[in-house]
Amino acid sequence: MTTSTQTSVIKTRPYNRGRRSQNLYNVVVNAEDGNYQEFEIEASSFAEAESKANDIAHETMTDITYVEIYKIA
């Protein structure tokens, strides 16, 4: 099964050069019935976050409409 994915970056703090990014992502799995589930994951890139999000989506055993991935910057 193929899952549609939407990605975005959410900037929550001012940029600080001395601070390393935590690489946190907020994942929202949207189901056909309008329900959704949110998860917070850690990944090194959007590609890894998408892979983890797809794994989570398939584990929820719902009829997935699409998955949203937001990087918390």
What's the confidence (pLDDT) of residue 4? Answer: 66
Tens-binned pLDDT, residue by residue, of the chain (73 aa): 455 666 666 666 555 554 555 689 999 988 888 889 999 999 998 889 888 988 888 888 778 888 889 988 7
What's the confidence (pLDDT) of residue 50? Answer: 86
Collapse the DSSP code of 56 into the 3-class scheme (helix H, G, I; strand E, B; otherwise coil) and give the result.
helix
Dihedral (C-alpha) 33, 34, 40, 44: value to the nearest 10 degrees? Answer: 80
Alpha-carbon span 2 to 55, nearest angstrom: 12
Per-residue model confidence as pLDDT tens digits over 6-26: 666 666 655 555 455 568 999
What's the confidence (pLDDT) of residue 41? Answer: 94
